[in-house]
């Protein structure tokens, strides 16, 4: 059946919200862009005060990690929260990673559901998927990845669903009901080499206690490459026919 003229296929247009505060050390949009090769991407750094384009110009939204903490609010948090609300209402598909994962909960449910992690996770972890979801079904379970977080989502209210967990954190993968909104506490976008470079820079700049970083640097990680198939599903389902 021919597609009516008033319907046209929309190719993925991805807005990456780069939440880096110290941009010389931390460039979280770069690995995401590398895995989105071929897709039309735009990166915007909200902490620096950059203008946010209208969400209607995009089909997908990715929220990156940050050195900032939801537990210690910054003025720019509300700008990002408003973007998330607008994107969610427009049906835009969203993934938040690490700080972006926590920001999703902050924006859609409230800051009280993000607290300091006890204990934090630094280094390498296995994430066990405990509920089926089309974004993750058929991928390794558990899957091994890089983790680096000192805050965590705690007991998010409905309609949040807990999809994946580690030994230390039971909200590593969450979804906002059946809407196309996922939070991932880990960093599946970062390679083992990239993770070790990040840890080395973090140690050099004295950002966090060395006792948490050095053990991770000494380990030889084995990571599962889930980010490419995950993003293919994330983008593929969103490249739909729209009026």
Catalogue the active-site residues: 98, 187, 189
My answer on whether omega of the bond before 134 falls inside 30° of 0, hence cis, is no
220, two tokens? 């030889």
Instruction: Give backbone dihedrals phi and psi of 128, rounded to 5 degrees, phi first.
Output: -95, 125
In the chain, helix, strand, coil percent, each to 5?
30, 30, 45
Only one residue has tokens 């903490």, namely 69
The residue written with tokens 């319907």 in the block is 7
Q: Is 234 exposed, middle or buried (0-12, 13-18, 19+ CB in 10 A)?
A: buried
Q: What are phi and psi of 113, to 5 degrees?
A: -95, 10
Q: CA dist 49 to 17, 78, 84, 131, Å?
A: 12, 12, 16, 38
Instruction: Count CA within 13 A, CB hemisphere, residue 112.
Output: 2
Cβ atoms of 3 and 86 closer than 8 Å: no
């Amino acid at each position: 059946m021919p597609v009516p003229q008033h319907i046209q296929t929309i190719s993925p247009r991805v807005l990456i919200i780069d939440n880096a505060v110290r941009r010389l050390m931390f460039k979280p949009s770069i690995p995401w862009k590398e895995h989105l090769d071929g897709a039309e991407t735009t990166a915007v750094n909200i902490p620096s005060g950059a203008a946010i384009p209208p969400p209607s110009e995009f089909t997908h939204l990715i929220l990156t990690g940050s050195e900032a903490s939801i537990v210690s609010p910054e003025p720019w948090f509300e700008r990002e929260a408003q973007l998330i609300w607008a994107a969610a209402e427009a049906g835009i598909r969203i993934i938040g990673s690490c700080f972006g994962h926590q920001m999703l909960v902050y924006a859609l449910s409230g800051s009280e559901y993000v607290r300091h992690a006890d204990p934090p996770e630094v280094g390498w972890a296995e994430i066990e998927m405990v509920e089926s979801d089309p974004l993750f079904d058929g991928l390794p379970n558990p899957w091994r990845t890089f983790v680096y977080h000192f805050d965590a989502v705690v007991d998010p209210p409905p309609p949040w669903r807990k999809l994946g967990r580690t030994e230390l954190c039971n909200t590593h993968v969450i979804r906002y009901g059946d809407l196309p909104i996922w939070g991932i506490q880990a960093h599946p976008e970062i390679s083992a080499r990239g993770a070790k470079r990040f840890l080395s820079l973090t140690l050099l700049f004295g950002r966090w206690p060395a006792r948490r970083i050095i053990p991770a640097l000494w380990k030889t990680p084995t990571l599962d490459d889930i980010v490419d198939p995950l993003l293919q599903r994330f983008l593929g389902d969103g490249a739909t026919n729209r009026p």
